[in-house]
Amino acid sequence: MTKAIIPQEIIENRIFLIRGQKVMIDRDLAELYGVETKALNRQVNNNIDRFPSDFMFRLKKEEFNEILRCKNYTSSWGGRRFLPLVFTEQGVAMLSGVLRSKRAVLMNVAIMRAFVRLRKVLSTHKELAGKLKELEYRVGDHDGQIKKIFEAINELMELPDRTVKNVGFLK
pLDDT score recorded for residue 71: 64
C-alpha distances (whole Å) from 127 to each of 93, 120, 122, 123 are 27, 11, 9, 6
Q: How far is CA 3 from CA 8, 35, 47, in A?
A: 11, 21, 31
pLDDT single digits (tens) 68-127: 666 655 544 445 678 899 999 999 988 888 887 788 878 888 888 888 888 888 777 777
Question: What three-state secondary structure class fits 55?
Answer: coil
Across the range 140-163, mean pLDDT stands at 66
Determine which of 13-22, 80-89, 136-145, 159-168 has the lowest per-residue pLDDT on average: 159-168
Q: Please report the pLDDT score of residue 91 as a whole number.
A: 93
> Per CATH, the architecture of 8-121 is what?
Roll (3.10)
Transcribe 28-51 into DSSP letters.
HHHHHHTS-HHHHHHHHHHTGGG-
The closest of 118, 101, 124 to 23, measured between CA atoms, is 118
- State residue 104 phi and psi, 5-degree precision: -60, -40
Q: In this predicted structure, what is the pLDDT of residue 161?
A: 54
Per-domain boundaries in the chain: 8-121
Query: Tens digits of per-residue pLDDT, 54-63?
Result: 999 999 988 8
Question: 3-class DSSP state for residue 52?
Answer: coil
21-56 pLDDT tens trace: 899 999 999 999 889 999 999 999 999 999 999 999
Distance of CA 66 to the CA centre of its chain: 16
State the pairing for strand pair 85-88/15-18: unpaired
Query: 84 with 26: CB under 8 angstroms?
Result: yes
Contact 36, 45 (CB under 8 A): no
Residues 67, 73: contact at Cβ < 8 Å? yes
Give the per-residue pLDDT at 120.
83
The pTM of the full predicted model, rounded to 2 decimals, is 0.64
3-state secondary structure of 84: coil
- Residue 102's contacts (CB-CB under 8 Å, 6 or more residues apart) are none
